[in-house]
Amino acid sequence: MTSADIRARMAAFGQKLSPYRRYVGPKRLATLAGALAALAHPPFGFLPGLFGYGLLLYVLNGDLGPKPLRRAFAVGFWAGFVYFLISCFWVAEAFLVDAETFGWMAPFAVMILPAMIAFFWGLFGVVYAQFAPKSGVKSLLCFAVWFCGFEMIRGWIFTGFPWNPAGASWMAGSAMSQMAAVVGVYGLSLITVMAFASIAIIKPTQGLKGYRPVMVAAGALSVCFAFGQYRLISTQITPSDTSVRLVQTNIGQEAKWTESEFSRIVRDYVAMTKAKPKYAKWSVQGADYGRRPDIVIWPEGALPASAEELFSASSWTSEVFARLLEPDQTLMMGVYRSDLDKGGNMVWRNTMLVIQQKAHETRIVAAYDKFKLVPFGEFLPFENLLTKIGVKNLVNIGDGFTPGDRTKAMTVDGIQSFLPLICYEGLFPALDQSNYNFGKPDIRPQWIVNISNDAWFGPTSGPVQHLNLSAYRAIEQGLPMVRSTPTGISVVVDPLGRVIPSTKLGVGHKGYIDVMIPKVVKLTIYGNFYVIYVIFISIFSLILLPYNTLLRSVKKTS
């Protein structure tokens, strides 16, 4: 059968489908594109869904009717709405924790959050329809670069919400995910979108030449996969001399604010902290299985009380903490506390405390205050407007939290330098903007501490996706990550983004695990030059705009 025969049969098939075309208009196809792309992410893992980006490009390159900009916005919006509806449906769980107070907001949150984020996709559609050529490699280039540019803006503007960028469709620790060590998750997004959208510019009438974009895309993906496989095979991950214990009590968010439960919660954390060692087999490799862990990590919001209440001399819990640790042992725990801002006003902070037992005395030796706060969860954006219609933030702390300073490496006596990330902060690439290469290699952290409160997500896709997104920070920086949550998923991730065997405490699991922290690997290319990538994509996006505008002007006058 010749190519002409194939084209003839496809044309005949198209004629048979013509009566049904009114059911597959641009908006419906855009909806399908968004759904396919969303299902590519863990835990669904339907990677053929990445062709949804090709479907979206196909729709934008088609006939958008007499009002193309309005239709282009609708196409982008509906694709984004369905994408984030599937990706973020777990947000309803947070409102159902205190259903009596916040339950009425759950349906609105499930619809409003995707709609707000989809606005960025809609704007992208308008920009593409206005400035991009509607066929050829230039259209693919404009589509991929501008789409990823708007995704970067989404992850930054209005505090940012970088949930599920296209590059994170690849499971962290897989061969493809290793490209994040070179170009970051947004660079991987650009490669992914460009490769899978290339099917939209196939021109079968040109024979083999018309399939050239797809062949180049397949070649690029193959090179990325080969690089990733080589990195996974050639990079040796070995344990350091520092041991850490992850404690997961599996206490749901709804139970934390029950006064009768408080003493039981404290007892559970204390019992697991003092329990006999239980090392993951990978960790010790012939070392002493009986050694107590050097560091114990409790998750974000571990105890339903402020630091002032927990450590007050009049509180029974102060005596508990005084006897909790062994000599030279360290506890890292999430807690909320009061503080004074720069204006002298009392505010609340979401904090990671570092507590040590030194010379028979328990002391708080360091504290990190969360920099990136969760909108509606930890603070209320547009507070004056939203409070008038009854909208509240979900935290039970005053008027919400106040952010601290941007995260950076912390050095505490007796333990390796570490980078603290609290929950939501694990989503943000390059949140730590220290330069570890040029002149200051000695300040590079040796591991990432990510405490989180995934109890808000319930048994949904949220914890799986949150872990996947956070693990990309390990790949980008070449650092191991220790992650602790109250209900799962608590794990130790190696510098290549892989979960260390036998260290996973899954959703709904109660227990603890001792692990030797993996050693760092060589500072990644992305860790060296991430600022250059951001500048390059920004400049390249701006160059494409006037270029195509000028090209259109020339064509109109000729």
Q: What is the pLDDT of residue 424?
A: 87
Give the model confidence (pLDDT) of 114-149 as tens digits.
899 999 999 999 999 998 888 888 899 999 999 999
Mean pLDDT of 312-336: 91
Supply the pLDDT for residue 243. 92
pLDDT over threshold 50, residue 286? no
The verdict on 153 and 73 lying in the same domain is yes
Taking every pair of Cα atoms in the chain, the longest distance, rounded to a whole number of angstroms, is 88
The contacts of residue 336 (CB under 8 Å, 6+ apart) are 301, 306, 307, 348, 349, 350, 351, 397, 401
Quick one: pLDDT band at residue 492, thresholds 50, 70, 90?
very high
pLDDT band, residue 373 (cuts 50/70/90) = confident
- Weakest mean pLDDT among 81-85, 402-406, 491-495: 402-406
Task: Give the separation between CA 207 and CA 497, rounded to whole angstroms.
Answer: 42
Contact 492, 246 (CB under 8 A): yes
Return the minimum-mean-pLDDT range out of 217-221, 314-318, 542-546. 542-546
Q: The tokens of 456 are what?
A: 């808000």
So what's the pLDDT on residue 17?
46
Helix, strand, or coil (residue 331)? strand
Model pLDDT for residues 174-222, shown as the tens digit of each residue: 999 999 999 999 999 999 999 999 999 998 888 888 889 999 999 999 9
**What is the span of the domain harbouring residue 315?**
239-370+404-523
Please indicate, yes or no, whether residues 304 and 329 belong to a single structural domain of this protein: yes
96/201 same-domain check:
yes
* CA–CA gap between residue 358 and residue 146 (Å, rounded): 54
Within-domain flag for 436: yes
The CA-to-CA distance between both ends of the chain, in Å, stands at 43
Bigger pLDDT: 481 vs 372? 481
Q: pTM of the predicted model, to two decimals?
A: 0.88
Domains contained in the chain, number: 2
Question: 456 or 385, which is more confident?
Answer: 456
Q: Provide the β-strand partners of residue 306.
A: 336
The CA-atom distances, in angstroms, between 16 and each of 6, 8, 9, 20, 485 are 16, 13, 11, 9, 55
pLDDT at 552 over 70: no
Same domain, yes or no: 228 and 252: no
pLDDT confidence band for 341 (50 / 70 / 90): confident
Same domain, 424 and 454: yes
Instruction: Determine which one of 142, 148, 151, 370 is catalytic.
Output: 370
Looking at the fold, whether 264 and 207 belong to one and the same domain comes out as: no
Is residue 114 situated within a structural domain? yes
Q: Rounded mean pLDDT of 482-506?
A: 92
**14 falls within a domain:** no
- Pair (325, 200) in one structural domain: no
Beta-strand runs (E) in 249-360: 295-297, 330-340, 346-358
Q: Tokens for 194?
A: 């460009």
Residue 20: which residues within 8 A CB-CB, separation 6 or more? none
Q: Tell whether the torsion through CA atoms of 525, 526, 530 and 533 is positive or negative.
A: positive
Side chain identity at 124, as an amino acid letter?
F
Question: Which listed residue (423, 425, 476, 519) is catalytic?
Answer: 423
Please state which of the ranges 195-204, 339-348, 479-488, 528-537 shows the lowest mean pLDDT: 528-537
20 pLDDT band, cuts 50/70/90, is very low
Asked whether the beta carbons of 220 and 195 are under 8 A apart, the reply is yes
Query: Do 294 and 184 fall within a single domain?
Result: no
Residues 441 and 338 in one domain: yes
Using the predicted structure, report yes or no on whether residue 44 has a pLDDT greater than 80.
Answer: yes
Range of lowest pLDDT (18-32, 96-110, 131-145, 277-291): 96-110
Mean pLDDT of the chain, nearest integer: 84
Residue 2 lies in a domain: no
171/303: higher pLDDT: 171
Q: Is the pLDDT higher at 5 or at 503?
A: 503
Residue 519 makes CB contacts below 8 A (sequence gap 6+) with 237, 238, 239, 240, 446, 480, 495
The C-alpha angle 172, 235, 448, rounded to 5 degrees, equals: 55
pLDDT of residue 388: 45
Say how many C-beta atoms besides its own lie within 10 A of residue 99's C-beta.
11
| pLDDT tens digits for range 381-434 | 555 554 444 444 445 555 678 888 899 999 998 899 999 999 889 999 888 877
Residues 312 and 340 in one domain: yes
Q: What CATH number is associated with residue 474? A: 3.60.110.10
360 versus 169: the higher-pLDDT residue is 169
Question: Cβ contacts of residue 447 below 8 Å, gap of 6+?
Answer: 416, 418, 419, 479, 480, 481, 482, 517, 518, 520
Q: Are 412 and 354 in contact (CB under 8 A)?
A: yes
% the chain with pLDDT above 90: 50
In a domain, 415, yes or no: yes
Q: Is 300 a catalytic residue?
A: yes
Does 165 reside within a domain? Answer: yes
> 6 in a domain, yes or no?
no
Question: Do 505 and 549 lie in a common domain?
Answer: no
Contact 373, 350 (CB under 8 A): yes
CA 379 to CA 394: how far, in whole Å? 8
The answer to whether residue 350 is domain-embedded is yes
Confidence of residue 359 (pLDDT cuts 50, 70, 90): confident
Do 251 and 198 share a structural domain? no
